[in-house]
Amino acid sequence: MILNARYPLLNPKLYHQQLPNPLQGAKAGHFNAALADELQWTEQEKKDWIAICSGQHTLDGFSPLAMVYAGHQFGHWAGQLGDGRGLLIAQVLNKDGQTIDLHLKGAGKTPYSRMGDGRAVLRSVIREYLAGHALNGLGIASSNAVGFTSSTQTVQREKAESGAMLLRTADSHIRLGNFEWINQYAPELLAEFTQKCIEWHYPECLEQQNPILAFAEKVIERTAIMIANWQLVGFAHGVMNTDNLNITGSTLDFGPFGFMERFRPNWINNHSDHQGRYTYQNQPSIGHWNLWMWLNNLIPLAQPDDKENFKEALATALEQYEPTFLKHYQQGLAYKMGLPDFHKDSFDCAMQFLHILQSEQLDYTQSFIRLQQQQYQLIRDDCLDVRQFDQFLQHYHNIREHQDLEALQQLMQHHNPRYILRNHMAQRAIEAAEQDDFSEVDRLFQILATPFEQHVLERPEDLAPLPSDVPEVAVSCSS
């Protein structure tokens, strides 16, 4: 690996250096060799992947560290948080020369663990491993992972479970909550920290008249696009606290996330979220709320005689969030539907379709695949209100008449995944892995790598939700 240790250059108040605490009996889980290649791992490092992904082997030239941050959790100020069970173990250059963080999750207690044990369990590590891989396969900016290891050590949750570690990659682990911590506990570091964030992640902003404002605009834009992409594939993050969103707009720290199956806008995968704050349909507005909380932390960076203007400029920047989101969401939806994005009725027609999915409780991903394959009768057969469906279909055909259908079909093909990580798929892989059989993790890993194409390893249950009379897997917040 080629190191680019830059976070350790920051003021030591912002992190705590310590070594990982390996689990007993670490053993192979799964390894993403293609990602290791992208990150320029040597042949020797690839051979040593189990030792690296279990904290037994650390890299010369980088002292692992836990980052400190703060955050708003479920809408409330939570004070100091931080990496309570993960360590930044390296920053490395990928083949494109981009710096990528390697973060070892489950690496033991840190000064920020609060009541936690510093560990992660195999169940949640597999879910994060497959979901990050799935999002990357879908073309959605997200953390990913080079590999994970299991162990013979048990970790206590609702019951005793296998301890595990995940070597996560991300273009940044700097969260909105890092700014909240600095502003609250070390405001003297804010200017330099912001400057570094811009240099590292948005160097193009340095050429702007007001780099901080340009930075804010970029973070707002990337977050809006990320969330539009989530909505389009039916991804629900689960814990959109300000400490779980980063400044590069790449998906991070999804906890009890889920890919929606039957279309239910008020669906919530996080059973600890009793008020439904982080439902699928709330995600866009929560993104806005989080950014608003974050922007408050930039205000102290205004020139003393320019505070009011700067505040107003930040508020104006945030006004761009909604149109940016809508533009990407509407365009993406038109592509999924195979409708021309410039047509004035396309969005209405898409809404008509979503309304049918909702009222008929149809599977989101499967229904779009059926639409793409022009299997209209299959969708109709699943509808109780066939008149509603016939009206939609008439409208749909009217708009598509005289359009370049071949081009529209191609767009549909590139925007409608055949595979998402359904809860029951992850669950089956987890149950096998708990018996040391990682073949199902590997099968899912392969099909999710190219989710828009039919794969030889496909099983019928990959394409549909469980029958509606089978209870859903409850995904708990304890991970």
Question: What residues make contact with ligand AMP under the rule CB under 6 A?
Answer: 81-85, 112-113, 116-119, 239, 241, 244, 253, 255
Joined together, the tokens standing for residue 33 give 């060799």
Question: By CB under 5 A, is residue 253 in contact with Mg ion?
Answer: yes
Pick the closer one to ligand AMP by CB: 71 or 338. 71
- What's the N-to-C CA distance of the chain in angstroms? 30
Residue 109 Cβ, how far from Mg ion at the closest point, in Å? 16
| Nearest-CB residue for Mg ion | 253
Which of Mg ion, ligand AMP, none does 117 bind, CB closer than 5 to 8 A by kind?
ligand AMP
CA nearest to 420, candidates 453, 451, 454: 451
Is 108 or 137 the residue whose CB approaches ligand AMP more closely? 108
Q: State phi, psi for 148 to the nearest 5 degrees.
A: -140, 155
Binding site partner of 118, from ligand AMP, Mg ion, none, Cβ cut-off 5-8 A by kind:
ligand AMP
Q: Which of Mg ion, ligand AMP, none has residue 255 at its interface (CB below 5 to 8 Å by kind)? A: ligand AMP
* Closest separation in Å from C-beta 155 to ligand AMP: 8
Number of Cβ within a 10 Å radius of residue 262? 19
CB 422 within 8 A of CB 259: yes
Catalytic residues: 243
Binding test (CB under 5 A) with Mg ion, winner from 144, 244, 367, 479: 244
Retrieve residue 107's tokens. Answer: 């690496």
Judged by beta carbon, residue 214 or residue 268, the one nearer Mg ion is 268
The span of 249-257, 310-318, 373-381, 456-464 binding Mg ion (CB under 5 A) equals: 249-257
Q: How far apart are the C-alpha atoms of 351 and 363, rounded to whole Å?
A: 15
Instruction: Give the residue with the Cβ less far from ligand AMP, 274 or 344.
Output: 274
In angstroms, the CA 329 to CA 327 distance is 6
CA pair distance 136, 448, nearest whole angstrom: 9
Q: Give the C-alpha distances (Å, rounded to integers) separating 54 from 110, 132, 170, 195, 471.
A: 16, 19, 18, 34, 35
Core vs surface per residue 54-68: b (16+ CB within 10 A) or e: bbeebbeebbbbbbb
449 sits in which H/E element = helix 439-449
CA dist 65 and 479 (Å) reads 21
CB of 253 to Mg ion, least distance (A): 4
- The yes or no reply on residue 246 touching Mg ion (CB under 5 A) is no
Pick between residue 99 and residue 270 the one whose CB is nearest to ligand AMP.
Answer: 270
> Residue 147 and residue 439: Cα distance in Å, rounded?
15
CB of 102 to ligand AMP, least distance (A): 17
Angle between helical axes of 283-295 and 321-337 (0-180°, round to 10): 150
Nearer to Mg ion, 252 or 393 (CB): 252
The strand pairing partners of 86, in sequence order, are 105
In whole angstroms, the minimum distance from the beta carbon of 479 to ligand AMP comes to 7
116 binds, among ligand AMP, Mg ion, none (CB under 5 to 8 A by kind): ligand AMP
The answer to whether 264 touches 276, Cβ cutoff 8 Å, is no
Residue 276 CB, shortest distance to Mg ion, in Å, is 20
Taking CB under 5 A as the rule, does residue 242 contact Mg ion?
no
Q: Which is closer to ligand AMP, CB of 85 or CB of 133?
A: 85
Residue 225: both structure tokens together: 């696009």
Q: Does the footprint of Mg ion cover residue 161 (CB under 5 A)? A: no
- Our CB check for ligand AMP shows the closer of 239 and 302 to be 239
Cβ atoms of 99 and 4 closer than 8 Å:
yes
- Shortest distance, CB of residue 29 to Mg ion, whole angstroms? 21
The least CB distance from residue 255 to ligand AMP, in Å, is 5
479 touches Mg ion (CB under 5 A): no
Phi, psi of 278 (to 5 degrees): -110, 40
> Cβ of 125: how many Cβ atoms within 10 Å?
27
Closest CA to 253 of 446, 477, 438, 444: 477
The string of DSSP letters for 225-263 reads: HHHHHHHHHTEE-S---GGG-BTT--B----S-EE--B-
Contact positions vs Mg ion (CB under 5 A): 244, 253
